[in-house]
Amino acid sequence: MYISRKRNDDKKVDIYLNYKRLDQIEEMKYLGIYLDSRFNFNAHIDLTVAKLITLINMLARTAKLQWGLGHKALKTIYEGAVVPILT
């Protein structure tokens, strides 16, 4: 991944390892956070939203099976499952 301080610098770099050209990527995961070449967190936000949508859909299916879940139980599920992913 090529990182530059210039806004419109879309430079392609040829790097070889053992006589094989390495592919240049636009985003990477570093310490659990996805970054792109412009240091935007858009890829990280998109992946986090996708995880949360999957989790919320699973929780909704589970809640339909147990219609008796009260407000307190839903709050506990939210605090135990959704908040850790967001933080």
At residue 59, the pLDDT reads: 76
The residue among 23, 30, 27, 41 whose CA lies nearest residue 12 is: 23
Residue type at position 12: K
Per-domain boundaries in the chain: 16-86
Q: How far is CA 57 from CA 21, 30, 33, 52, 71, in A?
A: 42, 28, 24, 8, 18
Distance CA 43, CA 47 (A): 6
List the pLDDT tens digit at each of the 87 positions of the chain.
Answer: 776 666 666 677 888 999 999 888 888 888 888 887 777 788 888 888 898 888 878 877 776 655 555 666 667 777 777 788 877
